[in-house]
């Protein structure tokens, strides 16, 4: 007997499946994966040890309030721990925000090359996703303000942006938050640690303004993409709302202990950050010398620009033939570009060499 198909909520079947970058190439064991902006140095040894210890406690339910991890985050960033919420990656914080603040009849706004989860979470909540035009290389605050309507409830801006790696000034984000007071501005600071200088990811804005939330992740600088830990920081009333829809045991013991040890290991984080900055500059210059310009990136990847989509596709194929996986970003509306994660020095040299050979072969 076949059961009758039960229809999902309206709009759900229009959601396009998220296509994550693949990590294998058939027939190759020496694959170099530069497609998911992972930390080439991996996690801190202290995080590995904490995870192994926590695994012995897997028969126990984890903490429900994440107090120890929130305390560590608060200490490292100089924030109020009562304004922090932890989630299964920052993806889950994005999801909580959409579930709590968006819904049928409301709009969720983001930029045209924005991170794909904004659209997915908005549609899952039944809201209408709205894309604002982007400038060629960076977020256009005026376009976001112009695209906002009285129905706008959430605005997502990744800063630095993925996949361009570029960023806008915090004063511009403040202008946006003030211009659209009916919406929460979510500053997605997944790549904030790579910026350097005094960039705080929007923490000070989220402390001062009632409609700004910052999201962060352990998946990038801390090398814990596989553990799935992210966090949000914002006004107390917003964090209170999000906690009401959070599952009591959303993070495992292993994830909580690993993330806490990772954020406390400042030396490992600093090494990953400085190496990334050095190699990002090196790779951008090396590619430019080989005829491939890239945007000025503040993150742990660069967006290499080719003459057209066909050239980008052919270069991607040449890289794959050499066992290197980078990210095609056609689904972000950038078919003529390839997003390349900054690996360690040997990886950067290898990718520059293959792209150099590819470009020489065309010229």
To the nearest whole angstrom, how small is the minimum distance from the Cβ of residue 73 to ligand PMP?
Answer: 14
Select the span of 87-95, 175-183, 264-272, 320-328 touching ligand PMP (CB under 6 A). 87-95
Cross-sheet strand order for the sheet of 230-233: 84-87, 230-233, 212-217, 184-188, 152-158, 107-111, 128-132
Least separation in angstroms between residue 156's CB and ligand PMP is: 9
User: Distances in Å between the alpha carbon of 252 and those of 41, 56, 74, 245, 259?
Assistant: 24, 12, 20, 17, 11
In whole angstroms, the minimum distance from the beta carbon of 232 to ligand PMP comes to 11
The residue number with the shortest CB distance to ligand PMP is 89
Q: Which stretch binds ligand PMP (CB under 6 A): 85-93, 137-145, 236-244, 353-361?
A: 85-93
Using only the alpha carbons of the chain, give its radius of gyration: 21
Site string for ligand PMP, 110-129 (x = CB under 6 A): -----x--------------
CA–CA gap between residue 178 and residue 10 (Å, rounded): 33
How far, in Å, CA of 175 to CA of 347, rounded? Answer: 40
182 to 201, contacts with ligand PMP by CB under 6 A? 188, 190
Residue of 132, 230, 224 lying closest to 183 (CA atoms):
132
Query: Rule CB under 6 A: is residue 225 a binding residue for ligand PMP?
Result: yes
> Is 205 within 8 Å of 195 (Cβ atoms)?
no
Residue 38 lies near ligand PMP (rule: CB under 6 A): no
Among 139, 219, 276, 297, interactor with ligand PMP by CB under 6 A: 219
Residue 158 found at the interface with ligand PMP (CB under 6 A): yes
Cβ at position 256, least distance to ligand PMP in Å: 15
The stretch among 21-29, 38-46, 83-91, 309-317 that binds ligand PMP (CB under 6 A) is 83-91
Contact flag: residue 223 with ligand PMP (CB under 6 A): no
Q: Which is nearer to ligand PMP, 242 or 352 (CB)?
A: 242
Closest distance of CB 90 from ligand PMP, Å: 4
Tokens at 258, concatenated: 């690993």
21 binds ligand PMP per the rule CB under 6 A: no
The answer to the question of residue 89 lying near ligand PMP (CB under 6 A) is: yes
Query: Of 35 and 350, which CB lies nearer to ligand PMP in the complex structure?
Result: 35
CB of 241 to ligand PMP, least distance (A): 20
Residue from 240, 244, 204, 354 nearest 290 by CA: 354
Q: Between 15 and 314, name the residue whose CB sits nearer to ligand PMP.
A: 15
Q: Is 161 helix (H, G, I), strand (E, B) or coil?
A: coil
d(CA 160, CA 303): 12
Q: How far is the CB of 95 from ligand PMP (least distance, A)?
A: 10
Choice from 217, 297, 300, 347 touching ligand PMP (CB under 6 A)? 217
Q: Please state whether beta strands 184-188 and 212-217 pair in parallel, antiparallel, or not at all (unpaired).
A: parallel
* DSSP string across 52-103: HHHHTTTTSPPPSS-HHHHHHHHHHHT--GGGEEEESHHHHHHHHHHHHH--
x/- map, 248-287, ligand PMP, by CB under 6 A: ----------------------------------------
Transcribe 296-349 into DSSP letters: --SSSEEEEE-SSHHHHHHHHHHHHHTTEE-EEEGGGTEEEEEEEE---HHHHH
The residues of the shown chain that bind ligand PMP, judged by CB under 6 A, are 89-91, 115, 158, 162, 188, 190, 217, 219, 225, 230
């Amino acid at each position: 007997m076949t059961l009758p198909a039960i229809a999902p909520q309206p709009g759900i079947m229009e959601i396009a499946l998220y296509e994550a970058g693949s990590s294998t190439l058939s027939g190759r064991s020496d694959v170099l994966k530069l497609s998911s902006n992972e930390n080439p140095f991996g996690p801190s040894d202290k995080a590995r040890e904490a995870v192994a210890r926590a695994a012995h406690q897997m028969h126990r339910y984890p903490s429900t309030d994440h107090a120890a991890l929130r305390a560590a985050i608060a200490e490292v960033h100089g924030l109020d721990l009562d304004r922090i919420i932890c989630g299964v990656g920052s993806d889950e914080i994005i999801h909580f925000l959409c579930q709590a603040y968006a819904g049928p009849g409301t709009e969720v706004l983001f930029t045209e090359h924005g991170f794909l989860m904004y659209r997915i979470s908005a549609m899952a909540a039944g809201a209408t996703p709205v894309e604002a035009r982007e400038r060629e290389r960076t977020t256009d605050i005026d376009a976001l303000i112009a695209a906002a309507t009285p129905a706008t409830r959430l605005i997502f801006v990744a800063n630095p942006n993925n996949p361009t790696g570029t960023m806008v000034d915090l004063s511009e984000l403040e202008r946006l938050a003030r211009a659209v007071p009916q919406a929460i501005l979510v500053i997605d600071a997944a790549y904030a640690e790579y910026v350097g200088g005094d960039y705080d990811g929007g923490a000070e804005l989220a402390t001062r303004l009632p409609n700004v939330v910052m999201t962060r992740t352990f998946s990038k600088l801390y090398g814990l993409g596989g553990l799935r830990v992210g966090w949000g920081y914002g006004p107390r009333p917003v964090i209170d709302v999000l906690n009401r829809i959070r599952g009591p045991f959303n993070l495992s013991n292993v994830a909580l202990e690993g993330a806490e040890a990772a954020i406390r290991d400042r030396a490992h984080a600093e090494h990953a950050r400085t190496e990334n900055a050095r190699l990002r500059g090196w790779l951008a210059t090396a590619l430019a010398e080989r005829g491939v310009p890239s945007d000025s990136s503040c993150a742990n990847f660069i967006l290499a620009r080719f003459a057209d989509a066909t050239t980008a596709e052919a270069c991607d194929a040449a890289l794959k033939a050499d066992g290197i996986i980078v990210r095609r970003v056609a689904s972000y509306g950038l078919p003529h570009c390839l997003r390349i994660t900054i690996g360690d020095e040997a990886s950067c040299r290898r990718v520059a060499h293959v792209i150099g050979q590819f470009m020489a072969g065309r010229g």
